[in-house]
A and B are shown apart, each in its own frame.
Chain A
Amino acid sequence: MHGEYKMPGGKLIVVDLAIESGCLARVQVSGDFFLEPDDALHAIDAALEGQDAGADEHMLAAAIRAQLAPGVMMYGISPEAVAVAVRRAIDQGTEA
């Protein structure tokens, strides 16, 4: 399933995922945003993996925030914007 969200004043956030037994699986966040250091992307993917497919945007954003190491810098992307893209993938996602 595939969802996209252009963060207002930011960049495009793309989410590809599957749902297995009601949970998010094989989550891949991508896009033309900026992250320092670059391995923060894996932390974001890992934070979303296994989350309940019924989780709302607030819960998803909190899960991402909790997983990010101190000092991670985000430009054109935020935990909230990723959460919107995840919800879009779940709610209106088509099979990629």
Chain B
Amino acid sequence: MTRTLWRDHDWHLIHTDPQSPALHMALDEVLTHEVGAGRRPPTLRIWEWGGPAVVIGRFQSLRNEVDGDAARRHGIEVVRRVSGGGAMFIEPGNTITYSIYAPLSLIKGMSFQEAYAWMDAWTLEALGELGIKAWYQPLNDITSEGGKIAGAAQAHRGGAVLHHVTMAYDIDATKMLQVLRIGREKLSDKGTQSAAKRVDPLRSQTGLARAAIIDHMIATFRRLHGLGDGSLRADELAQAGMLAQEKFSSTAWTADVP
């Protein structure tokens, strides 16, 4: 396998109506598999959230990360994703989330650190065009002078890499801190005592509507890498729907690391 470049691939965009958190988890698994098997072209998927969620990383402890009572009280769905990394607090309209499903050849020979920055170079360019000077802060954060903007995670499956990113557009920090347990040890080398203050969302930085930022990001990706319009195949959606129900809504998976 030799290294490929972005332009070597025929990128397709998926941007559908809002979907449930469990279905999003399942779509990441299914679409990564489809790209790895060569049945789907490399794809950029923009997420629209059907409801509030806490998404914990593959290796995080459910009870250590999430206050289950607070999540239930606020009607927040708690799901575990297939990639590592940290917990995210999601409310529809408050985040911009996307996934890139690419053949592993796109990051062939790269270190983890290089691969993260490579997959999000277009995002940094898009943010720069919106007036935000953003950069990659290893291991997996996109940050700016004002604070953290986004977190990324990758997972390798078969012949494909899944790279997904959640960016803060707006944030209810009070609610987030009620639901997520963020310990002092985690913040020990971040130079701040406050998790809320670590994040500087895109809304305050750009003054733009969320949809306008998404439109701009899509345009930047299209200009740099090429991007055609695509859609989910019926069999992909059916498979993801089944996985959402049987795996990603199950206690066995969500509490896999209790």
Count of interface residues, chain B, beta-carbon cutoff 8 Å: 27
| Residues 129-148 of chain B, each 1 if its beta carbon lies under 8 Å from chain A, else 0 | 00000000011100000000
Within 8 A of B (CB), among A1-45: 4-6, 8-12, 14, 16, 28-38, 41
From residue B163, how far is it (CB to closest CB) to chain A in Å?
12
Within the assembled complex, what's the spacing in Å between the Cα atoms of A29 and B257? 8
- The answer to whether B183 touches A4, judged by C-beta atoms less than 8 angstroms apart, is yes
Q: Pick the most buried of A12, A32, A33, A38: most chain B CB atoms within 10 A of its CB.
A: A32
Within the assembled complex, what's the spacing in Å between the Cα atoms of A12 and B59? 11
Within the assembled complex, what's the spacing in Å between the Cα atoms of A43 and B58? 15
Q: Pick the most buried of A6, A28, A30, A76: most chain B CB atoms within 10 A of its CB.
A: A30
- The answer to whether B60 touches A34, judged by C-beta atoms less than 8 angstroms apart, is no
| Residues 214-250 of chain B, each 1 if its beta carbon lies under 8 Å from chain A, else 0 | 0000000000000000000000000000000000000
- The answer to whether B85 touches A30, judged by C-beta atoms less than 8 angstroms apart, is no
Would you call the interface of chain A mostly helix, strand, loop, or mixed? strand
Q: Which residue of B lies closest to A29 (CB)?
A: B59
- The answer to whether A14 touches B61, judged by C-beta atoms less than 8 angstroms apart, is yes
Interface size class of chain A, counting residues whose CB lies under 8 Å from the partner chain: 20 to 34
Q: Which residue of B lies closest to A31 (CB)?
A: B59
CB neighbours of A73 from chain B (8 A): 112
CB neighbours of A28 from chain B (8 A): 61, 257-258
Binds A, one of B19-27, B41-49, B149-157: B149-157
- The answer to whether B186 touches A10, judged by C-beta atoms less than 8 angstroms apart, is no
Taking A35-B59, A41-B257 as contacts, is the C-beta distance between A30 and B64 under 8 angstroms?
A: yes
Q: Which residue of A lies closest to B112 (CB)?
A: A75
Residues of chain A at the chain B interface (Cβ within 8 Å): 4-6, 8-12, 14, 16, 28-38, 41, 73, 75-76
Provide a sorted-by-A list of 18 A–B residue pairs whose CB atoms are within 8 angstroms: A4-B185, A5-B185, A6-B186, A6-B189, A10-B139, A11-B86, A12-B183, A28-B61, A30-B257, A31-B60, A32-B86, A34-B84, A34-B85, A34-B112, A34-B140, A38-B82, A38-B155, A75-B112
